[in-house]
Chain A
C-alpha cells in the first residue's frame, strides 16, 4: 500500500485580516503540510479576494515558485471589475501555477446568478479552467444568501465543460441540500469540505449522496486548520477507495490531471 496523496484543494495564503491567526506565512504553511502529510495545496490569496489583484498575483506566483510547485493558485474574479480582474488572471494564463478561478459572491456582494459573472464562465470555458465558488446557506449574515448553490445553476446549464467546485458544500443548512441536488444533476459539479461544515458523519453522507468521485478535501486554511478535516476523512466509514478519491485524487483529476500517476485511477 502506498501513502495516500493528500491535496488541500481550498486554502488561502496571506493574512486573514479580520481574524487573529498565525502560522499563515509560506514557510509555516509548508512546514504544516509536511508535518501532516499534505502533498499539494491550492491557494486563493486573501489579497486577491480583497481586490489587490496585482499584489496578490505576484505573491501567488512567488509562493508557487518557493514551494517548488506544491502550492498552485486560483485567480479571483471580481464581478464589480470584470475586465480588470480577467486581465490580471489572463496575464498569468501560461504560468504553470494558475490552475483555476475563484468566485466569492458574498465577499464581493454580487449574487452568483448576476449577469456580471457571465464573462468569467465564458473565460473559464475557453481556457479549460475550473471554477471554485464560495457557497453557503442562508444565515443571520445577509450576504450569504448571495452564494446559495442554486444561484449558480444558470451558469452550470450554459457551461457544462467548466468543472465547478461548490466550496463548503453549500454550508450548514439548506444550501447543502441544494449543493447535493446540483451535483446529482450536473456531472461537472463537485463538493468541497472546506470551512466549518462540521456536521456529524458529513463525509459518509456526501459520499453516499453524490458519490466519492465528487467530494473533494479542502480546509479553508488558515481560517480552519486542515487537521480539523483530515482525521474525519481517515476515520470515516467510506472505504479505502473513497478516501483516496476524497483526499486527493479528485482534486488532481479536476485541477491537475497531468499529475495523476499511471497507477492511479484517472476516471471514476
Chain B
C-alpha cells in the first residue's frame, strides 16, 4: 500500500464505517495518570471529532476522588444539548443512603443518564450482595448497565455478583492499571458470566481481541477510549486491524453499547 495518503485514508474510512461510540470518556483528572490533561467537554468533543467517534458515555474522575453529587451534576450539564452524549452517574449502595447521591428517581435515567458507575474500593465497600443488592435490583428494574474499573473490586466479587444477578448488565473496565496481567481471571470470569462485558481500551495483549471474540463472542467487548487519560487511537488500532469480521468490529465499536443504553427505562 502506498504512503501516506492511502494508509491514512483507508484507516479513517474504515473507522468511519464502524460508527464508533465511546463507552468511557472522562471529565476531570485522576492521579492514576499523573501527566494527563484535564478532561473537559470541549476536549472530549474535539478529540471525538478528530478520531471520528459519534457518541459517548461520559464519566467523571471526581466521583472517585470526592463527593459524587457535583460531578454527577457536571456530567448531566455536559451531556445536555449534545446529541449522542450520555452520562454514567456515580452511585453508592442504597442503604444506608448517602445524602442526595444521587436521588434514584431524581435523574432522568431514560433521557441522558444511561449507566451507573461505582467505585467500591475508593468508597470503602465491596460489590457483595448484602451490601449492593438493593442497588443491583434498582439497576435491573431500570435496565441500567453497571460500570466498574477492575481496580475498584475483585474478580471474585464480580463473579458472585454476576451469578447472583444474571439480569444485571455489568461492564468491567480494563483500567486504570494493566488488565493484561489478569487475563487468566478475566476470560474464565466472562465465560462463566454471560451478563459480564469487558471494556477494551487497555485489552492490548497480542491477538487477544480476536481470541475473545472467537471464544466468547463479539457482543462481550465494548469500545472505549478512556480519554483524555488515554489515546483513543490505541483501541481503535486494535479494533480496526483485529482478525475478526467487520460485523464483529461494528458490534464492539458501538452496536453493543448502544443496545445496552437504548434499553434504559425511566
Q: Tell me the A residues contacting B by CB distance below 8 Å.
A: 1-4, 18-24, 32, 35-37, 137, 172-174, 176-177, 196, 198-202, 221-232, 234-236, 240, 243-244
Contact = CB atoms under 8 A, between A and B. Distances in A.
Contacts of A226: 206
A235 B11 contact: yes
**Most central of B37, B202, B205, B211 by chain A CB within 10 Å:** B205
A228 B237 contact: yes
Contacts, number: 131
B11 A228 contact: no
A225 B236 contact: no
Contact of B35 (A3, A23, A173, A235): A173
Nearest to B228: A200
B47 interface: yes
A22 B234 contact: no
Contacts of B253: none
Contacts of B235: 228
Nearest 7 Cβ contacts at the A-B interface: A231-B237, A232-B233, A222-B206, A23-B207, A20-B183, A227-B241, A225-B206
Nearest to B31: A173
Interface string B34-58: 1111000000000100000000000
B36 A231 contact: no
A4 B1 CA distance: 9
18 contacts: A19-B205, A21-B183, A22-B207, A22-B211, A23-B206, A35-B241, A35-B243, A36-B241, A137-B34, A199-B36, A199-B229, A199-B230, A200-B227, A222-B205, A224-B205, A228-B235, A229-B237, A234-B11
A23 B12 CA distance: 27
Interface stretch (B2-10, B93-101, B122-130): B2-10
B113 to A, nearest CB: 26
A227 B205 contact: no
A115 B228 CA distance: 40
Given A173-B35, A227-B237, A232 B3 contact: no
A211 B232 CA distance: 23
B260 interface: no
B248 interface: no
Contacts of A19: 180-181, 183-184, 205
A99 B241 CA distance: 30
Given A1-B5, A21-B206, A225-B208, A201 B35 contact: no
Given A224-B204, A231-B233, A232-B231, 18 more contacts: A1-B2, A18-B181, A21-B207, A24-B206, A32-B207, A37-B1, A172-B34, A198-B201, A200-B37, A200-B232, A222-B206, A225-B206, A225-B238, A228-B237, A229-B237, A230-B237, A231-B241, A234-B7
Contacts of A137: 34
Contacts of B11: 231, 234-235
A243 B11 CA distance: 15
A223 B205 contact: yes
B178 interface: yes
A23 B196 CA distance: 25
Contacts of B228: 200
**Most central of A32, A176, A223, A227 by chain B CB within 10 Å:** A227
Nearest to A11: B206
Interface in B130-172: none
A121 B93 CA distance: 57
B80 interface: no
Contacts of B236: 231
B57 to A, nearest CB: 18
A55 to B, nearest CB: 22
Given A199-B33, A200-B37, A227-B238, A243 B4 contact: yes
A174 B12 contact: no
A36 B36 CA distance: 30
B35 A172 contact: yes
A172 B202 CA distance: 14
A224 B205 CA distance: 5
A18 B182 CA distance: 10
A230 B3 contact: no
Contact of B234 (A3, A232, A243): A232
A23 B34 CA distance: 33
A201 B43 CA distance: 12
Nearest to B225: A200
B206 A240 contact: no
A21 B47 CA distance: 32
Contacts of B244: none
A177 B35 CA distance: 10
